[in-house]
Chains A and B, each alone.
Chain A
Amino acid sequence: MNQLEEGGRSSAPVQRDAGEPEKKCPNCRKEIPLSRLWANDLVCPCGYHFRMKARQRIQMIADRGSFRELFSSMASDNPLNFPGYREKIETVRAASGEREAVVCGTAAIGKQKCCLFVMESYFMMGSMGSAVGEKITSLFEYAVQFRLPVVGFTVSGGARMQEGLLSLMQMAKTSAAVKRHSDAGLLYVAVLTDPTTGGVTASFAMEADIILAEPGATVGFAGARVIEQTTKKALPEGFQTAEFVLEHGFVDSIVPRPGQKKYLAEILKLHNGGTAG
């Protein structure tokens, strides 16, 4: 695991010497010094958005010191005794430093108070099991109680297989909580990041009032390989990218990372801090 993947909790980048580590950009193929990536929210000068850890993103998007974590103790406990799951989750916890695949809390974005959730790609690719469903649901309920808008960053491979039907039901549970929040006249803004797929796409990712996406992010329901196998057709160029779903009318806008904070703050302001009326 390289330094970039471990990152997330450290603060501003330090000046590095000539021998500093670099990371190869899969898009432009250039070796980019890590310090340069860190200074630019993990966006390559060519525009490629690297994946970002949840806590690093919170640092980027929330006003300094404003984030208060909620429901941090909630974690899944192998409810079906699924073979290998406990070992897997323990390994992932140790490697990621997270207890689950989403971080929830309250924050201020450009002085606008909101509830914030950020999914974690380094935790079983942001898969949704009971704990992720419970945390997201609890956050929307908290937001209704305190009349706050919700801003959420999604990244997910879908429902977590190892919790079977319980994972599937989280799609219904989170959707019902989003609906209650919506019916209370409160604003929900989702930002789809790479990749947002499966059961998360088919629930709270696609249920926001305003849906944004990061450039180049994979956004879709079924996996591309499954679609190829099912249809035996070559997939069109750029299939299931943020640009593709924008063209087909399923997201409001693509917002590159460096402008996201300002964009979100403005959206929140335009909605009276997210509490319509």
Chain B
Amino acid sequence: MADLQDELQSLAEPGDLLDTAQTAPLAPQPPPGSPQERARALLADHPVVDGHSGLPWALRDLAWYDLQLGDSGVDTDVLRLREGRVGALLWSLRLPERIEAERAVGATLEQLDLVRSVVAAHPEGLRLARSAGQVIDARNCGRVAVVLGPAGAAALDDSLGILRVLHTLGLRVLTLAGASWAGEAGLTRFGEEVLREMNRLGVLADVSGASDATIARALALSRTPVLCTRSAARSLRAHPDNLSDALLAELGAAKGLCLVPSSPERSGPGVQDVADHLDHVRAIAGPESVGLSGHAPGAGAAPGYPHLIAELLRRGWPETDVTLLTWGNMQRVLRSADFAARAARERRKPSAARISELDPTDA
């Protein structure tokens, strides 16, 4: 497939995005055979699936309900995604902290509406994807695929019906934290039913920020690999969302996926820090269980994923492992969720279970 940036410049229709692209200074060409050049070549064929996109954060300072389209900096961010070789991203639906719990469902609908508005306003750059196949389609059309999620567990208001409705609206990843059924003690009976219904629908479980007990139970119960959308290695940096070596090993055994973020708090500030975490996760969980999440380090003016990949090549990562890291592992997990859902729907009807039946509060 053609380099995304080249394809963008060959677009016939003029637009803001194109103008910006043409006025941007040309990046210097790296020498042939250098890690930078190999990184660019690899990323051209295997762009990054970004597990916790920076894109929504372009909107975080706006009053999220009165987005003024066209004046939001999204154009700039789409350009940065392309320069950073991002081919697909998860769009987090985390709610602003000032939203009270009882407003969570309506606020989640508004977040979904906001994403739709932004994607609809940038048809040249972004495309919603509801399945692994649609991610590939978007990429083949030169668009960045937007996968909706993760949303927090509070978005369900303890209702499997609402889970099904949010899935209909496109939700594909849900974090198993922030609800009574996914607490410190792990998944309750209702929590397990939520996970089974997620498997039936094809909604991936995200366990970043979940308790260790929830993570262990989700790994055992889920019929499709689980994600950690923004977790690094706890043995290198003690952030609560980071995974212990024991959980990383369990995640690897279950063919789950740890998407290592590039954040000062979780992985450390520099490219070297992030590369250290990636080395560690790859060593413990395996090359099939490591991915990328969040703004690449040292982004600043120049997008950082090519630099990060060049560093990994310098550290001796085989190219096949790099392509798994950027694109292949996430494709496998998305496809697995689709297959598992198709199989489960033959066996299982929509669950009518209610939290009051499964998790009675006798207190």
Chains A and B are bound partners: no
Q: Which residues of B contact A (CB under 8 A)?
A: none
